[in-house]
Amino acid sequence: MTPTFEFESLYAFPVAGTDEAGIGSWIGPVVAAAVILDPDVSLDLLGQLNDSKKLSEKKRDHIYALLQDSPYAHIGVGEASLEEIDLLNIRGAGLLAMKRAVENLPLRPTMVLVDGTGKPDLSLPIKTLIKGDQRSYSIAAASIIAKVTRDRWVQKIALDYPGYGFEKNAGYGTKQHQEALHAKGITPWHRRSYAPIAQLLIK
């Protein structure tokens, strides 16, 4: 399965795709991006788009730069904070981040294509697409922008909190991360509502 313009072509331009990154991580904000791709965007760029999880870090960085530099890619980024994740739960926070990403677009879309089944609280028409990052060029582009944006934030945090392996695990619950939590404790960036963190807070 590879992305196409099939869904975008069903609606009048501009159509936005949105996706988030960091749902399963134990640290930091959840980051979302929204992308509108002009029909004149280069075929070379479109041919490189795919679900960010299927691409290497080097490839994601390359496509991120192409999207940022292209006059035919219109980008909005949003996030939901640690406090909002703990207040709303991660699903609600992910939808909030997507809402903010769409609101930060330079163009107002006629339709928003959303990866997954949830709908952000927007006063715009929305179509949800399961595995949308593998089916829609716009959502695939958004998935890459969101992941690279969040990964670069994690790399900075890793310098401040060595030993947790954030530079390799992006805050996900690897063995190194779990061992560091018990040996070094919880950092200010850990999501306190997540069960592994909440259990340590009780002790």
Would you kindly state where each structural domain of the chain is located, as residue ranges?
8-162
Residue 191: is its pLDDT beyond 90?
Answer: yes
Is the pTM here over 0.75, yes or no?
yes
At residue 141, φ and ψ (nearest 5 deg) are -60, -40
**Both tokens of residue 4?**
């196409």
Q: What is the DSSP letter of 108?
A: -
Q: What integer pLDDT is reported at residue 40 of this predicted model?
A: 87
Name the β-bridge partners of 21.
31
Q: What integer pLDDT is reported at residue 124 of this predicted model?
A: 97
Q: What pLDDT, in 10s, does the model give residues 139-152?
A: 999 999 999 999 99
User: Mean pLDDT over residues 163-184, rounded?
Assistant: 94
Percent of the chain predicted with pLDDT > 70: 100
**Both tokens of residue 65?**
């730069």
Q: What pLDDT, in 10s, does the model give residues 40-79?
A: 888 788 888 887 888 899 999 999 999 999 999 999 999 9
What is the distance between the alpha carbons of residues 198 and 105, in angstroms, rounded to a whole number? 36
- CATH number for the region 8-162 comes to 3.30.420.10
Q: What integer pLDDT is reported at residue 117 of this predicted model?
A: 94
Ranges of beta strands (E only) in the chain are 15-21, 30-37, 73-80, 111-115, 126-129
CA 32 to chain centre: 4
